[in-house]
Amino acid sequence: MDNQRIVDDVRRMDRLEHISILRFIIEAGVSYSTNSNGIFIPVQRIPGSTMEKIVKFIEYSKSTKLYMEEQERQKEELKGSLRSDPQTVETHAFNRYYQTWQPDDTPAFLEENGESV
Answer yes or no: is 111 within a domain: no
Give the separation between CA 20 and CA 109, rounded to whole angstroms.
Answer: 39
Within a domain: 53? yes
Evaluate whether residue 38 is within a structural domain: yes
The residue range of the domain holding 16 is: 3-96
- pLDDT given at position 58: 96
Q: Is residue 102 in a domain?
A: no
Among candidate residues 92, 81, 21, the one with its CA nearest the CA of residue 52: 21
Nearest to 2 by CA among 62, 64, 61, 58: 58
Number of folded domains that form the chain: 1
Handedness of CA 58, 61, 64, 69 (dihedral sign): negative
For residue 59, the number of C-alpha atoms closer than 13 Å in the C-beta half-sphere is 7
Q: What is d(CA 11, CA 4) in angstroms, rounded to the nearest whole number?
A: 11
27 assigned to some structural domain? yes
Does 117 reside within a domain? Answer: no
pLDDT in tens, 54-108: 999 999 999 999 999 999 988 888 877 766 665 655 666 666 655 555 555 555 5
Q: Per residue in 30-63, is it b (16+ CB within 10 Å) or e — as a string?
A: beeeeeeeeeebeeeebeeebbebbeebbeebee
- Decide if 104 is inside a domain: no
Percent of the chain with pLDDT strictly greater than 70: 69
Could you give phi then psi for residue 104, rounded to 5 degrees? Answer: -90, 10
User: Is there a domain that residue 14 lies in?
Assistant: yes
